[in-house]
Amino acid sequence: MLKGFICLLLFQLLGEAAVELTRSPVPGPVAGMLLLLVWLLISGGPSDDLSNTSHSLVQYLSLFFLPAGVGLFFLPEHISAQWPAIGAAMVAGTLLSMLFTGWLVKRLSGKRAASGEG
């Protein structure tokens, strides 16, 4: 599991370095995830260590969002007027994410069924 965790941290570091070198507006962890995706596509998928580590981390995914959620309660007063916009963005973003995920699963599962897999 340690090898998988080191691999994830390495790709995050590479993403941070790429963003810093290119002065890109994309966050470093997002660039690192894109680099990881490219590496996984080239190498044919995750190793057992990386797969086990990622499955372990996904179990606790909700805990990773907890600090960001708690931080919303300590916003300065001048931002408190923005709550309607923040709430609308959260609801709309969640709804769009759910719709897109459903569409993508339906589309990908249709291709898998048509090809005779699973």
pTM (two decimals): 0.57
Q: Which residues of the chain have pLDDT under 70?
A: 66-73, 75-78, 111-118
- Whole-number pLDDT of residue 84: 86
% helix / strand / coil in the chain, to the nearest 5?
85, 0, 15
Q: How far apart are CA 111 and CA 105, in angstroms?
A: 10
Sequence ranges of the domains in the chain: 1-60, 75-112
pLDDT confidence of residue 78: 64
Give tens-digit pLDDT for 55-70. Answer: 988 888 877 776 666 6
Distance CA(8)–CA(51), nearest Å, equals 11
